[in-house]
Amino acid sequence: MPRRVVVALGGNAIAPAGRAGTAAEQTGNITRTMRALADVLAVEPTELVLTHGNGPQVGNLLIKNELARDVVPAVPLDWCVAQTQATTGFTIVDALEAALAAVGATRPVVTLVSRVLVDAADPAFREPTKPIGPWLEDAAEVERRRREGVRFVEGADGRWRRLVPSPTPLASLELAVVARLLEEGTVVVANGGGGVPVVRGPDGTLTGVEAVIDKDLAGALLAEELRADVFAILTDVVGVAVAYDTPERRWLTEVGVEELADLAAAGEFAAGSMGPKVEAARRFVERTGGRAVIAALDSAAEALAGRAGTQVRPDRDRA
Ligand code: ADP
Ligand code: MG
């Protein structure tokens, strides 16, 4: 078993699309995954960092913002990200602590509200691409907010959805604390929801911005910064497929970074879902020489051991 591991849990895998995603459902999905990870930690004293997506969870907070706008002030997006880090993070802490105790491998687990640095000059801020929150129907309201600088995309049915920038993550600002906690044997939850995006002003001060960082890229960055041996992305499919939407669908069990880059260039992976996972896995492996794996949430232990999911290796062909 590898010495240091970063595991990214999918937001959709925690709150499955098309279902209500109640607190109980989300807790149940997290609990099952934490039991599997506890089994791994019971056998090996692996250093473990967890990160998680928050797409459905932030979407729900934004719906609350819309519905309550006339009663309490709407909160900015960076606040929403921080809030989902807290709720998903504490659920992970609760579930993993209990699971570790149950297998006699008690260890401290902590979640950090984590900021991730982005560049105010990132081109993503000029061209927002990520749709978030509810579909809006009130044209006058959409127009009013457009004048405030909010961007929208119009759907085929004449409704609008907000678009936000998805800038490249540059640095995990809680890195030094994460590293220290890991060395002490603590399991750390960090960079949830891609991290709270912050920019550095000319005078050095940090400010939260209305953007969403891709959680797979933020997880890969943290794995690289921590020099992890393995970066695992757990989601709601068994791995990476080619010809995914066709009868010829074929799951990849092992792939080298170059082959993966070729497949991505050929358009095999959907933007906004498998695309960023493949890109994150590729970046991590290319920059560190470590191993990445993309697998189903319920195969966590097998995936970490190299026996499930799509294993991404430095270069299978040239090894
Ligand atoms: P998460 O919340 O875990 O980030 P996403 O929904 O963003 O999950 O990404 C996982 C989804 O990617 C799968 O449910 C699947 O429908 C989709 N997907 C798109 N292209 C592929 C592909 N080539 N191979 C596997 N899954 C794919
Ligand atoms: Mg995703």
C-beta 12 within 6 A of ligand 1? yes
Residue 189 token pair: 């939850």
Q: What percent of the chain clears pLDDT 70, i.e. is strictly above it?
A: 97
- Name the pairing type of β-strands 47-52 and 151-154: unpaired
Is residue 156 classed exposed, middle or buried when 0-12, 13-18 and 19+ CB atoms within 10 A define those classes? Answer: exposed
Query: pLDDT class for 19, splitting at 50, 70, 90?
Result: low
**Per-residue pLDDT reduced to its tens digit, 124-139:** 999 999 988 888 898 9
C-beta 244 within 6 A of ligand 1? yes
Is residue 163 classed exposed, middle or buried when 0-12, 13-18 and 19+ CB atoms within 10 A define those classes? Answer: middle
In the predicted model, what is the mean pLDDT of residues 40-60? 92
In this prediction the pTM is 0.94
Is the pLDDT at 2 greater than 60? The verdict is yes
**Per-residue pLDDT reduced to its tens digit, 130-165:** 988 888 898 998 999 899 888 999 998 999 999 999
Distance 314 CA to ligand 2 centre (A): 23
The alpha-carbon radius of gyration of the chain (Å, integer) is: 19
| Per-residue pLDDT at 317 | 52
Report d(CA 78, CA 57) in Å as an integer.
Answer: 13
In the predicted model, what is the mean pLDDT of residues 43-61? 92
Beta carbons of 215 and 193 less than 8 angstroms apart: yes
Question: Could you confirm whether 277 is annotated as catalytic?
Answer: yes
| Per-residue pLDDT at 298 | 85
Residue 38 token pair: 């506890």
Active-site annotation holder among 11, 53, 59, 133 = 11
Question: Could you confirm whether 130 is annotated as catalytic?
Answer: yes
- Name the pairing type of β-strands 291-296 and 254-256: unpaired
Is the pLDDT at 101 greater than 80? The verdict is yes
Active-site annotation holder among 60, 191, 215, 309 = 215
Ligand nearest to the CA of 56: 1
Ligand nearest to the CA of 233: 1
Q: What percent of the chain clears pLDDT 90, i.e. is strictly above it?
A: 81
Which atom, in ligand 1's list, is nearest to the CA of 11?
2
C-beta 13 within 6 A of ligand 1? yes
Residue from 132, 235, 246, 250 whose mutation best tests the ligand 1 pocket (most atoms within 8 A of CB): 235
| Per-residue pLDDT at 1 | 61
**Per-residue pLDDT reduced to its tens digit, 79-90:** 999 999 999 999
Is the pLDDT at 319 greater than 80? The verdict is no
The region of weakest confidence among 5-14, 211-220, 227-236, 249-258 is 5-14
| Per-residue pLDDT at 296 | 94
| Per-residue pLDDT at 20 | 65
Query: pLDDT class for 197, splitting at 50, 70, 90?
Result: very high
Average pLDDT taken over every residue of the chain: 93
Residue from 9, 249, 252, 274 whose mutation best tests the ligand 1 pocket (most atoms within 8 A of CB): 274
